[in-house]
Copies of this chain bind each other. A is one copy, B any other.
Amino acid sequence: MVRTPASSARIKSAPARKKKVVRWNGAPGLKGQRREAILRSVGSVLRNSRLSSLTIQDIASELGMTKGNLYYYFKDKQDILYQCHMRCMELSLRALQEAMANDGAPSEKLRILLIGHIHGILDDGFGSILQTDLESFWPDQRKRYIRKRDDLERGVRSLIEAGVLLGEFECDNVKLAGFSILGAINWIPKWYHPSGPFSSDQIAEEMTDYFLRGLQRHDGVARKAPRERSSSKNGTNNYHRMLAT
């Protein structure tokens, strides 16, 4: 685990809470805020040092706190990982809602969903968490997570199907297409690095373009314009290294 001396945002000690404030034992409130901060920092640790060998110690020292102190905020390690998974998934589900709210063609909705999904994964640093297994989750944790994940998958598939029904898309196997798209996205954190050649914007836009292109019906009818990119942040012509092999 790479020690990043400057990156740690060293959280101030949480003052003892005021009494009298109505609060269920949950998210907001001082302790809850602290929890969120810790989770964010896990994202941060994962960001600039990819790996599955993430130790409690790493998280603690990123925050300038002690190993044991983490156990005041979380039951155990898998709880932390689980929360990260959920945060990440909720970002994606928000993108799904946003997509569904839009009144455009299925392709437009799907575009919104996928771009939001990718940004959620890359920009909040929780992306790398996707590599970890669900094995270690408690049954009800896994169940809760799976449910949300299935919502997302179903959302993608239903948009593809809608496009097929409207004649906008053409797709032999909706389920496999969905797996392809989501798998490709889940894999991004394996190679993405913030200081790498691709911005998360570019990745989101261009990969989504590719995914959608594979769905468009290919009889030449009703093809949409190549669609205007927002700010021409396309990475210049990338014809570096083209060995004909």
A residues lining the B interface (CB < 8 Å): 50-53, 100, 131-133, 135-136, 154-155, 157-158, 161-162, 171-177, 179-188, 190-191, 198, 202-203, 206-207, 209-211, 213-216, 218-220, 223, 234-235, 237-239, 241-245
The residue on B at minimum CB distance from A51 is: B135
Specify which chain B residues have a CB less than 8 angstroms from the CB of A131 in the assembled complex.
Answer: 131, 133
Q: In whole Å, how far is A220's beta carbon from the nearest beta carbon of chain B?
A: 3
A35 and B66 CA atoms in complex are apart in Å by: 44
The residue on B at minimum CB distance from A237 is: B245
Q: Give 10 A-B contacts (CB < 8 Å), ordered by A residue.
A: A53-B135, A53-B136, A131-B133, A157-B242, A176-B202, A179-B187, A179-B188, A183-B183, A183-B184, A220-B223
Please judge, given known A-B contacts A173-B235, A211-B214, A218-B216, whether A179 and B191 are in contact too, CB under 8 Å: yes
A188 and B179 CA atoms in complex are apart in Å by: 8
Interchain CB contact under 8 A, A161 and B239: yes
Interchain CB contact under 8 A, A238 and B184: no
Interchain CB contact under 8 A, B187 and A183: yes
The residue on B at minimum CB distance from A181 is: B184
Q: In whole Å, how far is A136's beta carbon from the nearest beta carbon of chain B?
A: 8
- Give me 9 other A-B pairs in contact (C-beta within 8 A), A52-B132, A181-B184, A219-B223 excluded: A50-B135, A173-B206, A173-B235, A173-B238, A174-B238, A179-B188, A179-B191, A183-B185, A213-B215
Interchain CB contact under 8 A, B213 and A218: yes
Specify which chain B residues have a CB less than 8 angstroms from the CB of A154 in the assembled complex.
Answer: 241, 243, 245
Interchain CB contact under 8 A, A175 and B238: yes
Specify which chain B residues have a CB less than 8 angstroms from the CB of A211 in the assembled complex.
Answer: 180, 214
A213 and B244 CA atoms in complex are apart in Å by: 19
Interchain CB contact under 8 A, A176 and B161: no
Q: Which of B52, B209, B242 contacts A158 (CB 8 A)?
A: B242
Please judge, given known A-B contacts A51-B133, A133-B53, A216-B218, whether A183 and B176 are in contact too, CB under 8 Å: no
A177 and B208 CA atoms in complex are apart in Å by: 10
Q: In whole Å, how far is A61's beta carbon from the nearest beta carbon of chain B?
A: 19
A239 and B114 CA atoms in complex are apart in Å by: 22
Q: Which of B135, B157, B180, B191 contacts A210 (CB 8 A)?
A: B180
Specify which chain B residues have a CB less than 8 angstroms from the CB of A181 in the assembled complex.
Answer: 184
Interchain CB contact under 8 A, A183 and B190: yes
Specify which chain B residues have a CB less than 8 angstroms from the CB of A161 in the assembled complex.
Answer: 239, 242
